Amino acid sequence: MNTNAFWHFLTLQLYKERSKHLSVVGISVMILFLLSSVQFISSSIRFSLEETLKVQPDFVVSRVQGGGSVPTPIEWSDELLDIYGVSKVTPRVYGRYYFAAKEKSFLIVGVDFMEEQSHETLQKLIATTDIKAFLEGKQMLVGQGVKAYLEAHFYKDAYNFLTPSGTFEKVKIFEILPSNSNLIANDMMVMPIDLARRVLGYGEEEVSDITFNVPNPDEWDMMTDKLSALHFDLQVVNKNEVRKSYENLYNYKGGLFLILFIIVLGTFALILYQRYSMVYSTERRHIGLLRALGWSINDVLKLKFMETLMVVFASFILGIFIAYVYVFVLGAPILSEIFLGGQNLQNTVSFVPVFDFSIFTSIFLIYALPFIAAVLIPVWRVSVTDPKEAML
């Protein structure tokens, strides 16, 4: 078969039957858009979670009394430092600050900037931050969501915090935290520990919790036992438990996506069945005619395969592109609520683009293979029947 003549006829067929193909492309794009959006969101969240947990301190201890958190005495830090294998002990002062204008709350994190931080992101920020300049005035580092909210309410460079004692603390924005820490840091305000104490109403010798690292992971289990023996009201949480709690949360959210996924696949199956039936009804005569006019079975299969491949490829590119724009440019409105709504992150999270080719491959295979099969199997079955019977 001459390639030019074949391509000429193929493009002619695609163009002349464009309404049929466009409707198939339209439905396929919708399915691919949903499949890809779900994949993009979940892989982006997984990536952000991993990136964020990577830099979290290994352990957090706090005081719990009567089932609720109470301020932790700062002298516990010294006790922790005495334990062999413990490093980077960092007392933290943090708490949620209610932003009345938007009915949102931000997470204030107070940090002793003169100490080495067990939280790697904070440590990195401090390493690149001009500490001297930062500590000169009342200043803070803010997450991207905080920055956006404050800017929208005309707090471009600074914000006036109302303290529990009824006074105002005007704090300047010094720097913005990086976007790849958004899953945890998006609604975060990082400020000097004494300033955080004043804003949140902690006493001078009180902190919210104390973080530290234990470089040898084999000591983690034993460390938990040792710490629990220190004080009856000491609560210990290690990074693995934080990871598990996040994973449990996202697995639960992922279950909702699974339902959506099944619905989409069910719809896709119906479309495949409709496509399969269409070949038998409307395209049967067409195939029979081509065979009667001297086309071999291979010629017919090649035409239909290429025709379907073009439709599949166009749908795939378009579906992926729209999903990419929807998730990574527009921030996946509606769908993101399923994953991110109802938890601590009360501000908008921008998804970090993740280029995982296995995602593209799996989406292509989930979509393209059944679609091509749903066309080619009936085409082949019609092609191998006698042209006279096919044309009936």
Is 170 a binder of other proteins (CB under 8 A)? no
Query: Which positions ≥6 away from 260 have C-beta within 8 Å?
Result: 34, 38, 338
Element housing 90 (H / E): strand 87-99
Counts of helices then strands in the chain (DSSP H, E): 14, 12
5 or 334: CB nearest other proteins: 5
**Amino acid of residue 337:** E
In the window 250-289, what residues touch other proteins (CB under 8 A)? 285-286, 289
Give the nearest distance from C-beta 383 to other proteins in angstroms.
Answer: 9
Is 292 a binder of other proteins (CB under 8 A)? yes
- With CB under 8 A as the contact rule, the residue among 100, 229, 293, 334 that binds other proteins is 293
Write the DSSP symbol of residue 334: T
Residue that has been written with the tokens 């994953």 in this structure: 339
83 or 301: CB nearest other proteins: 301
**The pairing of beta strand 59-65 with beta strand 209-213:** antiparallel
Q: How far apart are CA 377 and CA 390, in angstroms?
A: 15
Residue that has been written with the tokens 């059944």 in this structure: 370
Cα 134 to chain center, whole Å? 32
Residues 203 and 197: beta-carbon distance below 8 Å: yes
From 51-59, 79-87, 91-99, 383-391, span contacting other proteins (CB under 8 A): 383-391
Other C-beta atoms lying within 10 Å of the C-beta of residue 212: 23
11 or 248: CB nearest other proteins: 11
Give the nearest distance from C-beta 187 to other proteins in angstroms.
Answer: 58
Give the nearest distance from C-beta 25 to other proteins in angstroms.
Answer: 18
- With CB under 8 A as the contact rule, the residue among 33, 295, 351, 371 that binds other proteins is 295
Is 388 a binder of other proteins (CB under 8 A)? yes
Q: How far apart are CA 230 and CA 224, in angstroms?
A: 10
Is 16 a binder of other proteins (CB under 8 A)? yes
Give the nearest distance from C-beta 11 to other proteins in angstroms.
Answer: 12
> Rounded to 10 degrees, what is the CA torsion of 77, 79, 85, 86?
-10
Give the nearest distance from C-beta 275 to other proteins in angstroms.
Answer: 18
- With CB under 8 A as the contact rule, the residue among 271, 290, 327, 363 that binds other proteins is 290
Residues 31 and 367: beta-carbon distance below 8 Å: yes
Give the nearest distance from C-beta 284 to other proteins in angstroms.
Answer: 13
41 or 287: CB nearest other proteins: 287
Is 291 a binder of other proteins (CB under 8 A)? yes
Q: Is 48 helix (H, G, I), strand (E, B) or coil?
A: helix
Supply φ then ψ for residue 368, to 5 degrees. -70, -45
272 or 391: CB nearest other proteins: 391
Is 22 a binder of other proteins (CB under 8 A)? no
From 44-52, 178-186, 234-242, 293-301, span contacting other proteins (CB under 8 A): 293-301
244 or 388: CB nearest other proteins: 388
Is 5 a binder of other proteins (CB under 8 A)? yes
Q: How far apart are CA 8 and CA 14, in angstroms?
A: 10
- With CB under 8 A as the contact rule, the residue among 11, 296, 343, 344 that binds other proteins is 296
From 2-10, 45-53, 191-199, 212-220, span contacting other proteins (CB under 8 A): 2-10
Is 294 a binder of other proteins (CB under 8 A)? yes
Burial pattern 93-109, b for ≥16 Cβ within 10 A else e, equals bbbebebeeeebbbbbb
Q: Which two tokens stand for residue 253?
A: 């959210």
Is 386 a binder of other proteins (CB under 8 A)? yes
In the window 298-317, what residues touch other proteins (CB under 8 A)? 298-299
162 or 292: CB nearest other proteins: 292
Q: How far apart are CA 93 and CA 108, in angstroms?
A: 8
Which residues are at the interface with other proteins (CB under 8 A)?
A: 1-2, 4-6, 8-9, 12, 16-17, 285-286, 289-299, 386-389, 391
